Structure 1
Amino acid sequence: MSLNLRACIVAAVALLAGNQAMAASDRLTIISFGGATKAAQDQAYFKPFEQSGAGKVVAGDYNGELSKVKAMVSVGQISWDIVEVESPELLRGCEEGLFERLDPALLGSGDNYIANTVSECGVASYVWSMVLAYNAAKLDTPPASWADFWDVSRFPGKRGLRKGAKYTLEAALLADGVARDDLYKVLSTPAGVARAFAKLDQLKPYIQWWEAGAQPPQWLAANDVVMSAAYNGRIAVAQKEGTNLGIVWNGGLYDPDHWAIVRGSPNKALAERFIVFASQAENQKTFSMNIPYGPVNKQTVAHLPEAIQTQLPTAPANMDKGLLVDSTFWVDHGEELEERFNAWAAR
């Protein structure tokens, strides 16, 4: 091979690599939980970020399974840049080295954000709540608590519950009279776990299990169930579409979801830029206007209409009636409790 030909080949390879690097640097793959939330993210974050000229967003969705992220990181083939994760998965993924460490200075003063929403591996995107939702057209008297959810004599009919231990065990203990402040202390004991499953035994014949957030409002609207545990934003969207669904904030289980950058992402700088962009008050206002999940930037709420503010999990009246999900508890006990739940549900 002549020197000139070799030089041409080397130059061509270098040019191709350079073009690929440039293509990668202005293209961001962001994976979230889909549905109405993703639609709101598209309006508030994905499209405006593209329109700002920062780069193209390729949006996808998943069910929150860390196994896919773990597989990418283990082989060094990173096809996702940013993932939306629930709090326990953020803690677990950070411990396992699945996410990039973030510089909190990128976001400015931590005082601008709700407590526990900025951490070494992630930044909260919003606060949601697992609430008791019901079909007002089917119930003469609305339920007021998880105890009513369990009361099939006063409120006959099927119930919808998320198919998993998390949130379900909390609801069972709240229905059994455990005080909110004592819930995780009780659930940390063998007796407390047994108590939760015993309470679930009482309701098991009436339970219709759901796995996707879109199912509870669909089932409620179709009269398949009279009540269901549900994400508050999904119910709010259904209400906006004209369905006669109601929300009980008493006993709501609230928690942030977070943006995290997959370790090894070739677009870390652009991913950080996106997270900063999505953390701005104006953009979070647009998000909450599209779906009433609570903004984490404290400057946002004052700019939202009062009708929207009252629908947010972060509204003081709603937070006072709710309970923050204990992420550390679920990191420490989640695997064993999910295994026990799956065995129980299969019986």
Structure 2
Amino acid sequence: MPSGISASDTLVMPDQPFALQSWDGLPETLRQHATAPTMTWSAVMLDDMLLALACRDGLVQHLAPAAPASGAQAGESPCGIPAGTSRIVLAWDQSRIGNGATDWSALWDVAQHPGKRGLRLDPRSTLEIALLADGVAPNDIYTTLATTSGVDRAFRKLDQLRPYIVWWRTPEDAARIMSSGSALMTSTPADELTAIGSKSGFVALWTQSLLQNLSWAVPRNLPDADVAHIVAMLRDQPRHHNDPPDKAAGKTQSLTIDDKFWADHWEELQQRMENWLKQSP
């Protein structure tokens, strides 16, 4: 059962005979699994932007409404079961640069701290990070990204860092970057820092962390006979959260990823990123 963008070893699913594995969180990956002749995933954890697209396109199943006593909230997707939240944070190797970051602009400061930088190979979160590093206020991120000039600004910022970028797709990729020391600083799911512990030497900056809502969904090719059992199991799972040590500060200093914005703009911005990657540095 893929764990979406949360590290599999931080999810608690006691007494369940399912293996957890990570995946890249991309729509085409979900489509491949959901339309395969043979079911490979019993359920999938995904961000709420992808849930909206998958529900619209029939890649995941519409679920029977939860009982009122289950705590279901009005407005929840008919295809999803809330699974909690995940955060993407800025992490750096404290053994090499000490307390070296106060915001995302530090990721671009290769003059003061030379070395490779890790970023997610996905416009989601990466474009927000580029604009935050360029001085855009968190409250203005999505109004900026909704304009052509704002998108151009984000990619110009990425141009500055491009020679130094080590890309990651999955949480395990981000963990390997930190464990191997192949980058001095990186964006990463906060879970991965918890999973690898202090042995990597990396620490997190919670200021301007990106908060992502997560849900469970059931792929459309799961046999009908298995759906009720899987849904009941998922609804019984505790919701996953990785809050900063100072929870009050985290609430005021985080940027919640706008799933509606990404549901509306995913295709065009993904294509823009693919075109950008094909260009010569």
TM range (shorter): 0.7 to 0.9
Which residue matches 1:261? 218
**Aligned partners of 1:99 and 1:262 also within 8 Å:** yes
Aligned runs of 1:1-347 on 2, under 5 Å?
30-33=1-4, 37-41=7-11, 44-45=12-13, 47-48=14-15, 50=16, 56-57=17-18, 59-67=20-28, 69-70=30-31, 78-106=39-67, 108=69, 110=71, 118-240=76-198, 242-263=199-220, 265=222, 266=224, 267-279=226-238, 284=239, 293-294=241-242, 310-311=244-245, 315-347=247-279
Residue identity (%): 29
CA–CA distance in 1 between the matches of 2:234 and 2:267?
30
- The worse-fitting range, judged by mean Cα deviation, of 226-235 and 147-156 is 147-156
Give the SS at the match of 1:198. Answer: helix
Residue 138 of structure 1 deviates from its aligned partner by 0.7
Q: Distance in 2 between matches of 1:214 and 1:74?
A: 25
Structure 1 counterpart of 2:57, one-letter code = E
CA gap 1:259/1:147 in 2 versus in 1, 3 angstroms: same
Residue 97 of structure 2: SS of its match in structure 1?
A: coil
Q: Output the amino acid matched with 1:40.
A: T
Greater shift in the superposed pair: 68-77 or 258-267: 68-77
Higher relative contact order structure (alpha carbons within 8 Å, sequence separation ≥ 6) = 2
Deviations 1:173-214 (A, max 9, x none): 111111101100000000000111111111112212222322
- The CA distance in 2 between the partners of 1:75 and 1:212, in whole Å, is 22
The question of whether the paired residues in 2 share the 8 Å contact of 1:86 and 1:258 is answered with yes
**Secondary structure of the structure 2 residue equivalent to 1:152:** coil
Change (3 A) 1:268 1:167: same
* CA apart distance, 1:169: 0.8
- Cα-to-partner distance string for 1:308-343 (whole Å, 9 max, x where unaligned): x6449xx33212111111111111111111111122
Question: Shift of residue 259 of structure 1?
Answer: 0.6
Q: Distance in 2 between matches of 1:217 and 1:59?
A: 17
Q: Runs of 5+ in structure 2 lacking a partner?
A: none
Change (3 A) 1:317 1:264: same
Query: TM-score, normalized by length of structure 1?
Result: 0.71
Task: Name the SS for the 2:115 alignment partner.
Answer: coil
Contact 1:164 1:342 in 2 (8 A): no
C-alpha separation between the residues in 2 aligned to 1:160 and 1:69? Answer: 24
Where 1:233 maps in the other structure, the secondary structure is: helix
Q: How many residues align?
A: 277
User: Which has a greater percent of helix?
Assistant: 1
